[in-house]
Amino acid sequence: MDSLLIKGAVPLHGEVTIGGAKNAVLPIMAATLLTAEPCVIRRVPHLSDVRFMGQILTWLGSDVRFEGDTIRTQARKIKGAGDYDLIRKMRGSVCVMGPLLGRLKKASVSLPGGCVIGARPINLHLKGFQALGARVTIEAGYVHASAKRLVGSAIFLGGRAGSTVLGTANVMMAAALAEGVTVIESAACEPEVVDLADFLNAMGAQISGAGSPTVTITGVKQLHGAEHEVIPDRIEAATYAIAAAATHGEVTLRGARAEHMRAVLDKLKDAGVGIERRGADIVIRRARRLKPVDITTLPYSGFPTDVQAQVMALMALTPGISIITERIFESRFMHVSELTRLGADIEIEGPSAIVKGGKPLSGAPVMASDLRASAALVIAGLAARGTTQVNRVYHIDRGYENIDGKLRQLGARIERIEEP
Q: Which residues are catalytic?
A: 115
β partners of residue 139: 142
Q: Which of 104, 15, 87, 5 is nearest to 52 (CA)?
A: 87
DSSP sequence for 39-50: EEEES----HHH
Cα–Cα distances in angstroms (integers) from residue 344 to residues 92, 96, 288, 295, 361, in the given order: 32, 41, 20, 18, 7
Provide DSSP, 245-276: HHTT-EEEEET--GGG-HHHHHHHHHTT-EEE
Cβ count within 10 A of residue 374? 31
For residue 360, the 8-state DSSP code is P
Give strand pairing partners of 158: 163
Q: Which residues pair with 232 in a beta bridge?
A: 20
String of DSSP letters for 194-209: HHHHHHHHHTT-EEE-
Looking only at the bridges linking them, the beta strands covering 63-67 and 106-110 are: unpaired
Q: Which amino acid is at 282?
A: I
Check the CA dihedral 382-47-264-353 and report its sign: negative
Residues 6+ apart with CB under 8 A from 219: 150, 152, 175, 176, 177, 178, 179, 180, 181, 182, 206
Q: Work out the number of other CB atoms within 10 angstroms of the CB of residue 259.
A: 10
Q: What is the DSSP secondary structure assignment for residue 241, as one 8-state letter? A: H
